[in-house]
Amino acid sequence: MVGQICNRIVLPHIFLVSYPAQGHVNPLLRIGKILASKGLLVTLSAPNTIGDKIRKSNKSISEESTPYGDGMIRFEFFDDESEIITVPDEHAAHLEKIGKQKLPKMLQKHAEQGSPVCCLIYSCFIPWVAEVGESLRIPSAPLWVQSAACFSAYYHYYHNLVQFPTESEPELDVQLPYMPLLKYDEIPSFLHPWTQYPSITDSILGMFKHLDKNCCVLMESFQELENDEINYMSKLCPIKPIGPLFRYPTEKTVGSTKVDVTDAKYLVDVFKVGLRLSRGDFEKRVIPRDEISERLIEATIGPMAAEMKQNAMKYKKAAEEAVSEGGSSTSNLLDFLNELAVGVPMK
Cα separation values, 31 from 123, 145, 173, 251, 307, Å: 12, 11, 36, 18, 33
The answer to whether 219 touches 239, Cβ cutoff 8 Å, is yes
300 contacts: CB under 8 Å, gap ≥ 6 = none
In the chain, where the domains are located: 13-339
Rounded CA-CA distance 130/15 in Å is: 12
Q: What is the pLDDT along the chain (347 residues), one digit of tens a residue?
A: 444 445 445 789 999 999 999 899 999 999 999 999 999 999 999 999 898 888 888 877 888 999 999 999 999 999 988 877 767 678 889 999 999 999 999 999 999 999 999 999 999 999 999 999 999 999 999 999 999 999 999 999 999 999 999 999 999 999 999 999 999 999 999 999 989 889 899 999 999 999 999 999 999 999 999 999 999 999 999 999 999 998 766 555 554 445 688 999 999 999 999 998 866 556 667 788 898 899 999 999 989 999 999 999 999 999 999 999 999 999 999 999 998 876 555 44
Cβ count near 185 (within 10 Å): 18
Helix, coil or strand: residue 315: helix
Residue 270: CB atoms within 10 A of its CB come to 15
pLDDT given at position 113: 94
Query: Catalytic residue positions?
Result: 24
Topology of domain 13-339 in CATH is Rossmann fold (3.40.50)
